[in-house]
Amino acid sequence: MPRTSPLPKAELHLHIEGTLEPELAFTLAARNGIALPYPTTQALRQAYSFTDLQSFLDLYYALMAVLRTERDFADLMAAYLERAAEQGVRHAEIFFDPQAHTARGVPIGTVIDGLAGALEKEGGRHGISGGLIMCFLRDEPAESALETFEAARPYFGVITGIGLDSAEVGHPPAAFREVYERAAAAGLRRVAHAGEEGPPAYVREALDVLGVERIDHGIRSLEDPELVARLVREQVPLTVCPLSNVRLRCVSSLAAHPLPRMLAEGLRVTVNSDDPAYFGGYADDNFAAVRAALPLTGEDERTLARNSFLAAFLDHDEPRRAR
Ligand code: ES4
Ligand code: ZN
């Protein structure tokens, strides 16, 4: 029997800039008087054929040029929350890349005010609670991350945590120790991308040097049985993104995705959408894709949805504030 409404879930691995659909990109480009190097939304979509993480990142950063004003960031967030609500998302911890905007001359306050304002207002309207996770670009110097962290300090009241993203291989986590220490001291939660394209050693380093509470992706952890045993023992959440892994060729096909093995190992795995405008789907689209391609039971799907709430930075001991 077809499911009429999607399973309630938390989205824990979503880059807000990765929700920029071609139609909105063209709207914002026109509004800001920016020329895009593609004649139509269709032509832009046709460019979404990636060979690895870097080939995606090149387009992802280039298209951000259309995001300039507080209203642009608010519109981006509002459009995402509308899609998320349709997909059964009840809680979303949303990444953003401040350096990708400040490097273009957009003040960090413009970015955060736009995103946080819309998350509060539109999230409330859709019944979605959420938070913002400020990510640092690991292919930029650690000093830049520290400067960005300090520039964001006045906004820590609307920031849940910090993360680490962008090109992974050749950029191990340890260089960012200082900013993670400052984040912990400031009471911010800590996550990092690791084991997407990079080796299991980066996952260990993120845990041991950065003190992260979740690993984003983490699929390459499976190459290291001792690491798997530790992740199971400590129930470290792994925010896995199946459609992303296939589109960026970290995994050869959905049918070959290690998600069933990860569940069987007892890892606290969740299913997420990463950059849904680029990779072919939002949260429930990822659930539907793995349901169609992999031998998952209904109980597995409920485990994945339950894990998303257990892995969220919700205060499990406190009653949730009613909206
Ligand atoms: C990203 Cl898929 C992925 N990996 C690393 N960094 C990213 N930033 C946006 N999407
Ligand atoms: Zn990601």
One-character DSSP codes across 94-112: EEE-HHHHHTTT--HHHHH
Task: Please tell me the predicted confidence (pLDDT) of residue 3.
Answer: 56
The answer to the question of residue 321 being in a domain is no
| Local structure of residue 274 (DSSP, 8 states) | B
Residue 319: pLDDT over 70: no
- Edge-first strand listing for the sheet containing 9-15: 9-15, 89-96, 129-137, 161-165, 189-194, 214-217, 237-240, 268-271
Residue 316: pLDDT over 80: no
Task: Please tell me the predicted confidence (pLDDT) of residue 212.
Answer: 98
**pLDDT tens figures, 50-59:** 999 999 999 9
The answer to the question of residue 212 being in a domain is yes
> What domain count does the chain have?
1
Question: Residue 48 — pLDDT band, cuts 50, 70, 90?
Answer: very high
Name the average pLDDT for the chain.
96
The answer to the question of residue 2 being in a domain is no
Q: Active-site residue 11, yes or no?
A: no
Query: What's the sign of the alpha-carbon dihedral 150, 57, 250, 24?
Result: positive
The answer to the question of residue 315 being in a domain is no
* Cα-based torsion angle of the residue sequence 119, 280, 59, 130 in order, rounded to the nearest 10 degrees: 20
Atom of ligand 1 nearest to the CA of 279: 2
Ligand 1 near 221 CB (within 6 A): no
What percentage of the chain has pLDDT greater than the value 90?
96
Rounded to 5 degrees, φ, ψ at 215 are -110, 130
**pLDDT tens figures, 209-260:** 999 999 999 999 999 999 999 999 999 999 999 999 999 999 999 999 999 9
Ligand 1 near 276 CB (within 6 A): no
Ligand 1 near 242 CB (within 6 A): no
What CATH number should be reported for the domain holding residue 296? 3.20.20.140
**pLDDT tens figures, 274-296:** 999 999 999 999 999 999 999 99
Residue ranges of the annotated binding site are 13, 15, 193, 274-275
Ligand nearest to the CA of 197: 1
Cα–Cα dist 227/258, whole Å: 16
Ligand 1 near 196 CB (within 6 A): yes
**pLDDT tens figures, 84-112:** 999 999 999 999 999 999 999 999 999 99
| Local structure of residue 175 (DSSP, 8 states) | G
Residue 323: pLDDT over 50: no
The answer to the question of residue 59 being in a domain is yes
For the segment 175-188, the average pLDDT, to the nearest whole number, is 98
Task: Please tell me the predicted confidence (pLDDT) of residue 26.
Answer: 98
Cα–Cα dist 175/258, whole Å: 29
Ligand nearest to the CA of 244: 1
Task: Please tell me the predicted confidence (pLDDT) of residue 315.
Answer: 78
Ligand 1 near 220 CB (within 6 A): no
Rounded to 5 degrees, φ, ψ at 320 are -70, 140
Task: Please tell me the predicted confidence (pLDDT) of residue 322.
Answer: 41
For the segment 35-48, the average pLDDT, to the nearest whole number, is 96
Question: Residue 2 — pLDDT band, cuts 50, 70, 90?
Answer: low
For the segment 199-211, the average pLDDT, to the nearest whole number, is 98
Closest residue by Cα to atom 3, ligand 1, is 166
Atom of ligand 1 nearest to the CA of 168: 5
Give the ipTM. 0.97
Ligand nearest to the CA of 137: 1
Among 21, 6, 158, 168, smallest CA distance to 90 is for: 6
Query: What's the sign of the alpha-carbon dihedral 269, 5, 255, 53?
Result: negative
Domain encompassing residue 304: 9-310
The string over 15-53, giving b where at least 16 C-beta atoms fall within 10 Å of a residue's C-beta and e elsewhere, is: bbbbbbbbebbbbbbeeeeeebebeebeebeeeeebeeb
Cα–Cα separations (whole angstroms), residue 122 to 5, 78, 127, 236, 309: 21, 6, 8, 31, 21
Query: What's the sign of the alpha-carbon dihedral 236, 239, 245, 246?
Result: positive
Question: Residue 320 — pLDDT band, cuts 50, 70, 90?
Answer: very low
CA–centroid distance, 165 to ligand 1, in Å, is 6
Atom of ligand 1 nearest to the CA of 275: 10
Residue 135: pLDDT over 80: yes
Ion ligand 2 contact residues with beta carbon within 5 A: 274
Ligand 1 near 165 CB (within 6 A): yes
The answer to the question of residue 20 being in a domain is yes
The answer to the question of residue 318 being in a domain is no
17, 196, 197, 205: the active-site residue? 196
- Residue by residue, DSSP assigns 191-244 as EEEESSSS-HHHHHHHHHTS--SEEEE-GGGGG-HHHHHHHHHTT-EEEE-HHH
